[in-house]
Chains A and B, each alone.
Chain A
Amino acid sequence: MTTPLLDLRQVNKKYNEGSKHQVHAVRELNLAVEPGEIVALLGSSGCGKTSTLRMIAGFEEVSSGSILIKGSPIHQRPPAKRGVAMAFEGYSLYPPLTVRENIAFALKGEKLDRQEVDRKVLEIADLLEIHDILDRYPSSISGGQQQRASLGRALIRNADLHLLDEPMGQLEPQLRAILRGRIKHFIKERGLTAILVTHDQTEANALADRIAVMEGGVLQQFGSPAELKDAPANLFTGTFIGEPPMNIFNAELEDTGDVVRMRLEKEVYLTFPGSAFSGNLRALLAKEQQFVIGVRPHAVHIHQDGEPGTVFANQWLGDQTHIAANFAGSSIISVQHDRTDYRNGDTIRVGIKASDLHVFSRSSGNALSHGGDIA
């Protein structure tokens, strides 16, 4: 096995340590990033993702634990000696310099000749579509343009690791979609390793090879976008990843040999053939008795012999329909690919396949099973 390019070992970050306002922003974080990988740190604000990034960059000290790049500890070194490049959320361009100078500035440490610098700046400018503003000053261009300039300043560097903090938050949707593709291609083509911080899961899915989901300073799950979607490690990742979010119900097991019956609230029963679950899983569920089940909205089918729900919203989003219905004491959302003509108050019948079922422990929230097998 190769040495990871970046290795975080039991990293903790506490702000105002020792005072009564102590904030434990990052807890016992372990994360290994392989060379050439793009990793996204995904989470809502305050989850510790930006603190993590700033500890890697060297703008925040680690409270305990260690950070290694290419196997050597760097968390004691000043930012300049870590071999990382970074694009800042607040752009942070140098006001007295033009965009061109700002981007070229990042290459000062690499001692290239002028022509080489010019060539690289133009290449980056083409990539990010900032050709026409190269000779303008940061104060005279828009937020989106500043953000692209800042991104350019980070990508142009020949660093071991590129850190991108919300790199596309200010861009218009169309441009964002184009740039995602280009930037991913640029990073992959050069074999760069990048860590990006974002709260936008579309961006994380589009750019990253692996996503680290964080919440409350704790790493919830670290895996490929597909793994996060198909096998969420716990209730948090399950509901956080995916749009619209996973439907969640409390359930109780009534195992009657041939079939597995789950009793939801309001006397709603879901019945699955016993063969849909492995023996181990059936034993585990029998032991747990009460648990939480989750099903993705895309896997909620509407057909004749399902359980009844009452529609309270039907939205056509241009390419799919979201139907929300009161179901088993809470609500359920189903995604359909065509327009439907359900009206509020209509009764629909909802069916869920055992293979689409995620089961979580009610006490810990950890996943017990995905589909018919133990997680």
Chain B
Amino acid sequence: MEHQSTLERWLRGIALSLVVLFFMFPIFWILLMSLQTNETILRSPPSMVFTPTLNNYAAIIAGRLDSNVATMSIEFMRNLMNSFILSAASVAVSLLLGVPAAYAFARHKFRGSEDIAFTLLSFRFAPPLLVLLPLTLYFQELGLANTYFGLIWVYQLICLPLILWIVRGYFEDISPDIEHAYRIAGHGWFATFRKIALPLAGPGIAAAGLLAFIFAWNNFVFALVLASADKQPVTVGALAFVTASGIQYGQIAAAIVLSITPTLALALWAQRYLVEGLSLGAVKG
């Protein structure tokens, strides 16, 4: 690394810039769009010069969509709230169920444990649409359709396997003897789980939780089929911007910015957390 020629450094810089540009440009462009009116967005050729306006954000937050033809009300903020409720609750339930299960799978090899663990993972392989049709019928029968409870239940298909498998790996990395040392000092297994295993796997649990949150947030198809307007998350709610009188690009852009902000912020924060957790490396050795 120290012996890099100027040319190498330049090439490196250019390559990195290209990568950053490739990934950041869409986000940057959407940010620009969200600050423009539909007219300035659609003019040809496109231009970066415009008078920024916060009208799009105002409309979205107020819930009133003004097009050149008519005014319609949308419930974007409600969708945002739904997304938050669904994702957070799903992750919470998954952590509650998945972390003890992951611990059991990591520490106790019982008959069929591998099969059960794999079955749980296979929930991630199944195409969601395959499950959805029977699920819709069951849910209507049980009265679970269009309830937060029902949706959170279905979201376990996304979150639980993810958390289970990531956290299991972290538990397996902790030397069992650390827990043995605690147990032989006069503590039961539950105290050992709470006081030793959980804190040591903490960074892993946090990372898995954040990842699961992002996956749940991005989910579209479960909510599309199983939820109606008042329970829909942003991913489904965004469809409302495709109106009969045309597509409201500015407002869509503003909605996108609002809906990616929480996950983006989480990801940025988690990145720091993850690096910290991994570089400590205190668990091994």
Contact = CB atoms under 8 A, between A and B. Distances in A.
Interface in B262-285: 280-283, 285
A139 B184 contact: no
A79 B180 CA distance: 8
Contact of A95 (B182, B185, B186, B200): B200
Nearest to B174: A95
Given A59-B180, A86-B180, A94-B196, A108 B185 contact: yes
Contacts of B188: 78, 80
A77 B11 CA distance: 66
Nearest to A105: B185
Contacts of A92: 175, 177-178, 180-181
Nearest to B109: A16
A58 B186 CA distance: 12
A260 interface: no
B180 A109 contact: no
Interface string B148-179: 00000000000000000000000000011110
Interface in A91-108: 92-96, 105-106, 108
B128 interface: no
A138 interface: yes
B184 A138 contact: no
Interface of A: 57-59, 78-80, 82, 84-86, 88-90, 92-96, 105-106, 108-109, 137-139, 150, 153, 157
A159 to B, nearest CB: 9
B187 A80 contact: yes
Contacts of A57: 180, 184
Given A78-B188, A80-B186, A108-B185, 13 more contacts: A59-B176, A78-B189, A79-B184, A80-B185, A86-B180, A88-B177, A93-B178, A93-B181, A95-B200, A96-B199, A106-B185, A108-B186, A109-B187
A139 B281 CA distance: 8
A86 B184 contact: yes
A90 B177 contact: yes
Contacts of B184: 57-58, 79-80, 82, 84-86
A11 to B, nearest CB: 19
B183 interface: yes
Contacts of A106: 185
Nearest to B185: A106
A80 B285 contact: no
27 contacts: A57-B180, A59-B176, A78-B189, A79-B180, A80-B183, A80-B186, A86-B181, A88-B180, A88-B181, A92-B181, A93-B181, A94-B181, A94-B182, A95-B282, A96-B199, A96-B200, A96-B282, A106-B185, A108-B186, A109-B185, A109-B186, A109-B187, A137-B282, A138-B282, A139-B280, A139-B281, A153-B181
**Which among B187, B281, B282 has the greatest number of chain A C-beta atoms within 10 A?**
B282
Contacts of B196: 94
A79 B184 CA distance: 5
Nearest to A140: B282
A94 B187 CA distance: 15
Given A95-B283, A96-B282, A90 B175 contact: yes
Contacts of B182: 94
Nearest to B200: A95
Nearest to B177: A92
A82 B175 CA distance: 22
B182 to A, nearest CB: 8
Question: Top 10 nearest A-B pairs by Cβ distance?
Answer: A109-B186, A95-B282, A92-B177, A88-B177, A79-B183, A92-B181, A92-B178, A80-B186, A79-B184, A139-B282
A208 to B, nearest CB: 22
B173 to A, nearest CB: 12
Interface string B185-209: 1111100000010011000000000
Nearest to B188: A80
A78 B176 CA distance: 15
Nearest to A108: B185
A47 to B, nearest CB: 20
Given A95-B283, A139-B285, A157 B177 contact: no
A267 B176 CA distance: 58
A61 to B, nearest CB: 12
A96 B175 CA distance: 14
Nearest to A85: B184
A41 B262 CA distance: 59
